[in-house]
Amino acid sequence: MKIFYQGSPGAYSHLAAKKIHPNNEFIPCKTFEECFKNCNQNSNYKTIIPVENSIAGRVADIQYLINKYKLQIYAEHFEEIKHNLMAIEGVKIKNIKSVRSHSQAISQCQKIINEFKFEPIIAADTAGSARFLSENKIRNEAAIASELAAKIYKLEIIKSNIEDNHGNVTRFLIMGKNAIHPEFKNKNYITSCIFKVKNKPAALYKCLGGFATNNVNLSKLESFSDQNSFEQYLFICEMYGHIEDPRIQKSLEELAFHTVSLDILGVYEASRYRNIK
């Protein structure tokens, strides 16, 4: 099994993938679409995709790729993001003039940047910043990246857990081409779908009515425009429950009646991180 992730080796997606499937082969991709495309072409491949962060919110453009390729969701994973300040071995923090990383990592580590008056340098990704530092042997510059990136690129971690807010968590989805649903047992499940509402008054209200009448709890409802149009909207919807649960089935039947299109994106066990009661 090959698992594709976006970013350089040592990216947080790479770190999360190693925790979930430690014995698989991990292949970096330059873009998220490359990850989706590879999995769409081969049913033996999987991809791990970050979809939202507890601080920064949803990851841009992922919902459009989910709609375009309609890969199936097999699992979810919540990864605590721990940023580390790293440099060439032997470099002291007093010698560092600038720090390089992804824009979100830079914004999430403002306290240490301001404290030491580092000049921030925005880069494409965190692990790529660590690789750049290692390859170019820059001694007055540091990178913000994962512990795995420091290990891969042989950098020395000067300070660990430098993020401003601890408890910074990213939710990842493990996705692939084939529809595989777990057996319906006494566990907590999530059913994900994507639908387009009819262009009529109260269309969304009617779509959601079935969930209320069947006592189904929604964990997520996210809207985005359809092909740069502001006339009709698509919604990614996640509900607590298995698709074989009669309550879920009745809710989806009513939802389908009020939509232009409805696609099931996956049925999977809810992560223990959710602490569902």
pLDDT for 73-126, tens place per residue? 999 999 999 999 999 999 999 999 999 999 999 999 999 999 999 999 999 899
CATH 3.40.190.10 fits 84-159, yes or no: yes
**pLDDT of amino acid 276:** 64
Q: What is the mean pLDDT of the chain?
A: 94
pLDDT for 129-178, tens place per residue? 999 999 999 999 999 999 999 999 999 999 999 999 988 999 999 999 99
Name the class of domain 189-274: alpha beta
Q: Are the folds of 2-80+169-176 and 84-159 the same? A: yes
**pLDDT of amino acid 112:** 96
Helix (H), strand (E), coil (C) string for the chain: CEEEEECCCCCHHHHHHHHHCCCCEEEEECCHHHHHHHHHHCCCEEEEEEEEECCCEECCCHHHHHHHHCCEEEEEEEEECCCEEEECCCCCHHHCCEEEEEHHHHHHCHHHHHHHCCEEEEECCHHHHHHHHHHHCCCCEEEEECHHHHHHCCCEEEECCCCCCCCCEEEEEEEECCCCCCCCCCCCEEEEEEEEECCCCCHHHHHHHHHHHCCCCEEEEEEEEECCEEEEEEEEEEEECCCCCHHHHHHHHHHHHCEEEEEEEEEEECCHHHCCC
Domain ranges of the chain: 2-80+169-176, 84-159, 189-274
The arithmetic mean of pLDDT across residues 194-203, rounded, is 90
d(CA 180, CA 140): 50
pLDDT of 277 higher than 60: no
The pTM for the full model equals 0.93
**pLDDT of amino acid 266:** 97
pLDDT of 255 higher than 60: yes
Q: Select from 234, 264, 269, 270 the least CA-distant residue to 70.
A: 264
pLDDT for 29-88, tens place per residue? 999 999 999 999 999 999 999 999 998 889 988 999 999 999 999 999 999 999 999 999
**pLDDT of amino acid 86:** 98
CATH of domain 2-80+169-176: 3.40.190.10
What are the distances in angstroms from CA 110 to CA 49, 105, 144, 163, 238?
A: 26, 9, 11, 8, 34
**pLDDT of amino acid 198:** 87
